A = this chain, B = another copy of it.
């Protein structure tokens, strides 16, 4: 409907300030844009509320890229034992804020964190959070979205019950709060060490709270949640002197004959308390300038938190910190210039924003951090990161970050993974780690493809031999996830280990990436061994049904078989046979052959997308959302599936499916994500897909080409070059790729090489109304031809 020029009814913008210009002039204007302007335009396009509704599980609070502190409002405490819905602390539908806590996951399907909840109040002190349904029943407050502001590095809201204007910003290790209290009422700040995402009795195994002589508040808490024995420390300072304080333990503690610290019954005289249920209340004169509070966290100890505060947050200039946070985001997001409809720009830059929440910094200013052994280590020449949601993020997030972030970021990720392995009792790479600790969540050894993808792209500033050794160790640790039977039988035996079909498939892919690296390193034995293992997907393939299935130790498939069945611990991981049977990213052509040819794959894929599926079928599976037939965009096993038509020589079907997915699964509104953002994987899928290509097989250095959803996007690569994608005309009437040029020359393949991107250049798509059934249909024009087994 729209072609070539902008219309008021469907506003488009290159940056916010050039809306209404013709595309050509917009393009001409780009060269004159400074990096700062580019960054500011990118930041302005971000809407942190996207994903905070529905089950996106993102949060709207203040964070810097990859920051350790992720400071955000929490809107429900009472029901957090439900975990899933409030995994990020905030749900857009809620109208009550319980406080602002300093650690959050962005987009997880499981819950933890929510450390160090701070809440400003006035009037009578309430120690309990209260019930959101009962105003005044606790320290919580009602709020109105109309008073909210959320921008990269900044969040503000008015707490209606108290008339307090609350603003948040952050640096890497410090959360900043600015509270404007109404005059004339007692002003308090409550620091609650009790609540967590996914709360239950005994979640906090220990905590400490101390008011130091200089007014610094320090403490820690240790929780037994998703990661067990997790310790986190803090140091908190206020811009105004304490008018008073009270330290409470709300649990009747296990006493030993009643010995108690001085003035144990006078919370206002306590200088230090320990226990499991601690809450501190700090009083201030509620007049004059707003109160600024800054809270640093440390994985190490209270001294570490104080040092983080001293080094990172020396003054009281909230606005300067806010400006610096915004500048960091401008630099990170400003790598892209995008011309697209407003909603697309908003969704794109917000997605990009969400790809830089994790892995997150996990290291004190002095380089100390905790490893999976829960011991303190010193990072030797690297920056330590944690929160590796690897089952999700190896697919597209890590590949994306190699393009949009300096290689040092990925090198540090790899070094962090290697360090974690060194400190692991099992001698293997992290599986799903946060705050340094292993959770054993999900399946696979997907740190392997993250490292392999980096290595194959030439990002290699880490000990290469150690990297390969770590990959091999992770792939051969027999007690892990059925690897014993996998190594012995060539598949994970379902009578030995749950979710065997999914495991066999994902292991085979991970193994292939090891072979890639080993071959490049000249380690032929290793390459041969893992090339062989990479073919293990065939042991899961049931030629009779055409599905990937779980096999028993005796070699037989488990019966009865229902390709629609799913459930935790069944043959598949968060999915069924319809969803998992296409996971051979490193050998799609082998899969096609096994299925019986291109047509068979296309028919299967169509059956996936076009099935009539009652969503109730997945009501018992929280993570299977975003359904299009069996295709579940809200969960990762589906993420590469739409691109598989390319491999069957029908790229126009990929183009159709991508439009179907983008139109239905991403919206520039709070409930705009079809499922958990999963530390940026959902967003990374969107970013790649918007640009027109996707890394179906990480470590292959190949992307499958889909179709762009932007008129133009220019990526300023870390190496200083630029890579531009263009699509014309871009509208609903021209959903198909007619032709593609790379640097002006026709591109005949639906595959794009990584080196073509990093060399800089332009990938231009001519879009058309009808499918081009001639382009990229020949065998050699399809992705996967150069990477297969």
List A residues at the B interface (Cβ < 8 Å). 110, 112, 198, 200, 202-203, 205-206, 208, 210-213, 222, 224-226, 228-229, 253-254, 256-263, 266, 269, 271-272, 274-276, 301-303, 373-376, 425-427, 432, 438-441, 477, 479-481, 568
Across-interface contacts of A225 in B (CB, < 8 A): 254, 256
Partner of A426, one of B110, B208, B271, B477: B271
B259 touches A226 (CB 8 A): yes
Q: A229 — which chain B residues lie within 8 A by C-beta?
A: 206, 208, 274
A267 to chain B, nearest CB (A): 11
Q: Is the interface of A mostly helix, strand, loop or mixed?
A: loop
Knowing A226-B256, A426-B271, the reply to whether A440 touches B261 (Cβ < 8 A) is yes
Among A206, A260, A262, A439: residue with most chain B CB under 10 A: A262
**A228, B110: Cβ atoms under 8 Å?**
no
Shortest Cβ distance from A271 into B: residue:
B425
Residue of B206, B212, B254, B481 touching A425 (CB-CB under 8 A): B212
Whole-angstrom CA separation of A375 from B480 in the bound complex = 36
When the two chains form their complex, are residues A256 and B205 in contact, meaning their CB atoms are under 8 A apart? no
Q: Which residue of B lies closest to A438 (CB)?
A: B261
Measured in the bound complex, the distance between the Cα atoms of B566 and A330 in whole Å is 73
What are the 7 closest A-B residue pairs judged by CB atoms, nearest first? Answer: A272-B425, A263-B479, A271-B425, A262-B480, A262-B479, A269-B479, A226-B256
Q: With A254-B203, A256-B198, A438-B261 in contact, do A272 and B479 touch (Cβ < 8 Å)?
A: no
Choice from B206, B257, B262 contacting A477 with Cβ under 8 Å: B262
Known contacts A211-B425, A425-B211, A426-B272; is-contact A254 B206 (Cβ 8 Å): no
Q: Is the CB of B259 within 8 A of A441?
A: yes
Contacts of A269 in B (CB 8 A): 479
**Judging by beta carbons under 8 Å apart, are A373 and B261 in contact?**
no
CB of A210 within 8 A of CB of B425, answer yes
Report the separation of the CA atoms of residues A200 and B254 in the bound assembly, to the nearest whole angstrom.
9
Contact A481 B301 (CB under 8 A): no
Contact A376 B425, CB 8 Å, known A224-B254, A441-B259: no
Minimum CB–CB distance for A161 against chain B, Å? 33
- CB neighbours (8 Å) of A263 from chain B are 479-480
Contacts of A206 in B (CB 8 A): 205-206, 222, 224, 229
Q: Which residues of B contact A203 (CB under 8 A)?
A: 254
User: Which residue of chain B lies nearest to A377 when distances are taken between CB atoms in the complex?
Assistant: B303
Q: Do A373 and B272 have beta carbons less than 8 Å apart? A: yes
Q: How far is the CB of A439 from chain B (nearest CB, A)?
A: 5
Q: A224-B206, A229-B274, A373-B210 are in contact. Are A439 and B259 (CB under 8 A)?
A: yes
B-chain residues with CB within 8 Å of residue A301 when the two chains form the complex: 375-376
Q: Are A110 and B302 in contact (CB under 8 A)?
A: no
For residue A480, which residue of chain B has the nearest CB? Answer: B262
In the bound complex, what is the Cα–Cα distance between A258 and B226 (angstroms)? 9
Complex alpha-carbon distance, A502 and B261, angstroms:
18
Q: A206-B206, A224-B254, A229-B274 are in contact. List 8 more A-B contacts (CB 8 A).
A: A198-B256, A213-B427, A228-B275, A261-B426, A262-B479, A271-B425, A301-B375, A302-B373
Residues of B within 8 A of A373 (CB): 210, 272, 302
Closest Cβ of chain B to A110, distance in Å, is: 6
Chain B residue with Cβ nearest A229: B274
13 examples of A-B residue contacts, CB within 8 angstroms: A112-B256, A205-B205, A205-B206, A206-B222, A224-B253, A224-B254, A225-B254, A225-B256, A260-B440, A261-B438, A262-B440, A262-B481, A302-B375
Q: Could you say which residues of chain B place their CB within 8 Å of the CB of A374?
A: 208, 274
- The answer on a CB contact under 8 Å between A440 and B259 is yes
Residues of B contacting A226 with CB < 8 Å? Answer: 256, 259
**A203 to B253 Cα, complex, angstroms:** 11
**Residues in B whose Cβ lies below 8 Å from that of A480:** 262-263
A211-B373 Cα distance, complex, nearest whole Å = 11
CB atoms of A228 and B274 under 8 A apart: yes
Cβ–Cβ contact A256 & B110, under 8 A: yes
Assembly CA distance A710 to B144 (angstroms): 86
A221 → chain B, closest Cβ, in Å? 11
Write out the residue numbers on chain B whose beta carbons fall within 8 Å of the beta carbon of A426. 261-262, 271-272
Compute how far the CA of A198 lies from the CA of B226 in the bound complex, rounded to whole angstroms. Answer: 31
- Chain B residues contacting A254 (CB-CB under 8 Å) are 200, 202-203, 224-225
When distances are taken between beta carbons in the complex, the residues of chain B under 8 Å from A253 are 224, 228
- Give the residue name and chain of the B residue nearest to A301 (CB): B375
The residue of chain B having its C-beta at the shortest distance from the C-beta of A427 within the complex is B213
Distance (whole angstroms) from the CB of A623 to the closest CB of chain B: 11
Task: Give every chain B residue within 8 A of A440 (Cβ-Cβ).
Answer: 259-262
| Residue numbers in B under 8 Å from A479 (CB-CB) | 262-263, 266, 269
CA distance A609 to B73 in the complex (A): 69
**Bound: A479/B568 CA distance, A:** 56
Across the interface, which residues of B come within 8 angstroms of A302, CB to CB? 373, 375
| Residues of chain B contacted by A438 (CB below 8 angstroms) | 261
Among A253, A260, A269, chain B packs the most CB atoms within 10 A around the CB of A269
Complex CA gap A302/B253 in Å reads 28
Q: Which residues does chain B contribute within 8 Å of A272, judged by CB atoms?
A: 373, 425-426
Question: A261 contacts which chain B residues (CB < 8 A)?
Answer: 426, 438, 440
CA distance A568 to B276 in the complex (A): 27
A668 to chain B, nearest CB (A): 32
